[in-house]
Amino acid sequence: MKNILFLNDCVRPESRTLRLARELLKQAEGTVTELNLEGEGLRPLTAEALQKRERLLSEGRLEAPMFRYARQFARADEIVLAAPYWDLSFPASVKTYLEHITVVGVSFRYDETGCPVGLCRAKRLSYVMTAGGPILPSNQGFSYVRELCQVFYGIPDVRLIAAEGLDVYGNDPEAILREAVQRLQEEER
């Protein structure tokens, strides 16, 4: 049975991003583990946290609780990240989560030339987002996640599932969401 990790960063109860992600997960074949990023209360890495992290890594203590998110991410067979399009990117909690999972020896390692080599099991990460306006070509959130996945984590297939223009005057947000779901269903066939 495939292990699917669902990273939910949809902070609004009526989140359209969450609705789109749930449609994707309906089609998933496997066991879904949901991690609510906002609810985890993760904090950015501080000087003290980095010192602890470096000490644990130097001692080879990869099973330490501090690395639980990195282990969970690295062991997932497939990953779905749902985060709304905020300020050309994603909410800050996504960045904080990524800081916690980018761990040498767990999600990646360095080869003899100093290049990162991915250690993650997943072959695909689906990035789900919605936007009230247009998604600009400089979608920095998706680009950042794609680069981390492909360069550091070794996840080759990083796809964007998006619905945009939901709050533009004259647009029908429900029709836009239905079209996004239809595209998603066609892709999965």
CATH number at residue 16: 3.40.50.360
- Tally of CB atoms within 10 A around 153: 27
Contact in structure between 107 and 70 (CB atoms under 8 Å): yes
The Cβ-side half-sphere exposure at 45, using a 13 Å CA radius, reads 17
| E strands present in the chain | 3-8, 31-36, 78-82, 108-110, 116-118, 124-130, 157-163
Q: What is the pLDDT of residues 157-175, one digit of tens each?
A: 999 999 999 999 999 999 9
- Tally of CB atoms within 10 A around 46: 9
pLDDT at position 15 is: 93
pLDDT at position 28 is: 87
When pLDDT is cut at 50, 70 and 90, the band that residue 152 belongs to is very high
- Tally of CB atoms within 10 A around 136: 11
When pLDDT is cut at 50, 70 and 90, the band that residue 45 belongs to is very high
pTM recorded for the entire structure = 0.94
pLDDT at position 47 is: 97
Query: How many percent of the chain have pLDDT more than 70?
Result: 99
Q: Which domain holds residue 103?
A: 3-188
pLDDT at position 72 is: 98
pLDDT at position 87 is: 87
Contact in structure between 161 and 85 (CB atoms under 8 Å): no
Total number of domains in the chain: 1
Rounded-to-integer distance, Cα 167 and Cα 134, Å: 9
Rounded-to-integer distance, Cα 40 and Cα 17, Å: 19
pLDDT at position 106 is: 97
Contact in structure between 103 and 70 (CB atoms under 8 Å): yes
Name the residue with tokens 């282990």: 71
pLDDT at position 189 is: 62
Contact in structure between 5 and 70 (CB atoms under 8 Å): no
